[in-house]
């Protein structure tokens, strides 16, 4: 019962101990910021400066402010780390094991976002933050490896049903680029002809009658995602068939 506890809380405002009982929990957001570069899916990591995890990398995150919505906190972290704000962002899961943070009880809400690396060259001047290929990551600070894996698993699900993958690509792209991105995310090789058939059935793409430039081979046609599919989040799940 939320109400009962809140009553206790109100009387506890002055009683310090009881107040701390209920509120001695930190709550943060952690951001899995994903980009696509050189045919690899990459995640933005920062060096952990905690003694317990010296030398390890961790996901960017921060405490949520008492007057700040969850998404707002994620966007703030994202803005600080990348300078971007108009990006795909989605909540994945909340992690809160009592032992997950060495300094005390901290519950974290994990978000993942997809950004177009080429279109937004972020300043990586400080060697504080770097892109890391997700396939090469073996260990992270805290439970961040688990968080990363959970996000990747969610991404793989989303990618099959929703047009979210396009947030990782430039506005205009070739079918080859799109297929390579699917392959990078799903970790499988796809047949070019079947892939194109499946994509064309979904009717997501607009043929803009332009060609690739500066490729060392025959240029492919360029496409854009149709406007009605440009989403910055997927809240509700689409239904599957069971008739």
Contact (CB, 8 A) for 42 and 134:
yes
Among 55, 66, 104, 216, binds DNA (CB under 7 A): 216
CA distance 6 to 189: 54
Give the residue among 187, 74, 95 at the shortest CA–CA distance from 144: 95
Footprint on residues 140-179 left by DNA (CB under 7 A): 174-176
Report if residue 238 touches DNA, rule: CB under 7 A.
no
Binding partner of 135, given its own copies, DNA, none, CB within 5-8 angstroms per partner class: none
Give the one residue of 15, 85, 191, 210 binding its own copies; rule: CB under 8 A.
191
Name the segment binding its own copies (CB under 8 A); options: 21-29, 32-40, 119-127, 216-224.
Answer: 21-29
Contacts of 133 (CB under 8 A, 6+ apart): 40, 41, 42
Decide whether 91 or 231 has the Cβ nearer to its own copies.
91
Q: What is the 3-state secondary structure (H, E, C) of 56-120?
A: CEECCEEECCCCCCHHHHHHHHHHHHHCCCCCEEEEEEEECCCCCCCCCCEEEEEEEEECCCCCC
**144 vs 163: CA distance, rounded Å:** 26
**Phi, psi (rounded to 5 degrees) for 202:** -65, -25
Q: What is the DSSP letter of 20?
A: H
CB of 4 vs DNA, minimal distance in Å: 45
Q: Please, which of residues 37-96 interact with its own copies by CB under 8 A?
A: 46, 48-50, 58, 60-70, 91, 93-94, 96
Burial of residue 129, with CB atoms counted within 10 A of its CB: 0-12 exposed, 13-18 middle, 19 or more buried: buried
The CB-of-134 to its own copies minimum distance in angstroms stands at: 16
- Based on CB atoms, which residue is closest to DNA, 139 or 192? 192
Nearer to its own copies, 124 or 186 (CB): 186
**Residue choice 130, 154, 176, 221 for contact with its own copies (CB under 8 A):** 154
Give residues in contact with its own copies (CB under 8 A): 1-3, 5-6, 9-10, 20-28, 30, 46, 48-50, 58, 60-70, 91, 93-94, 96-98, 101, 103-109, 142, 153-154, 156-157, 160-161, 182, 186, 188, 190-191, 194, 198, 236-237, 239-240, 242-243
């Amino acid at each position: 019962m939320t109400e009962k506890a809140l009553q206790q809380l109100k009387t506890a405002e002055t009683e310090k101990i009881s107040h701390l009982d209920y509120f001695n929990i930190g709550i943060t957001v952690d951001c899995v910021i994903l980009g696509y570069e050189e045919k690899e899916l990459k995640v933005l990591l920062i060096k952990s400066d905690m003694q317990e995890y010296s030398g390890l990398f961790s996901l960017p995150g921060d405490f949520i402010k008492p007057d700040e919505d969850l998404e707002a906190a994620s966007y703030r972290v994202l803005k600080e780390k990348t300078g971007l704000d108009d990006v795909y962002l989605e909540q994945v899961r909340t992690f809160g094991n009592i032992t997950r943070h060495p300094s005390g009880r901290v519950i974290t809400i994990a978000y993942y976002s997809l950004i177009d690396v080429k279109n937004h060259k972020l300043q990586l001047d400080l060697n504080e933050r770097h892109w890391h290929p997700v396939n090469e990551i073996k260990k992270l600070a805290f439970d961040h490896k688990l968080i990363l894996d959970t996000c990747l698993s969610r991404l793989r699900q989303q990618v099959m049903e929703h047009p979210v993958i396009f947030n990782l690509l430039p506005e205009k792209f070739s079918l080859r680029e799109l297929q390579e991105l699917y392959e990078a995310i799903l970790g499988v090789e796809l047949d070019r002809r079947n892939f194109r058939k499946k994509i064309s059935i979904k009717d997501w793409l607009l043929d803009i009658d332009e060609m690739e430039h500066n490729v060392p081979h025959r240029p492919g046609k360029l496409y854009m995602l149709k406007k009605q599919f440009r989403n910055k989040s997927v809240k509700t799940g689409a239904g599957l068939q069971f008739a």
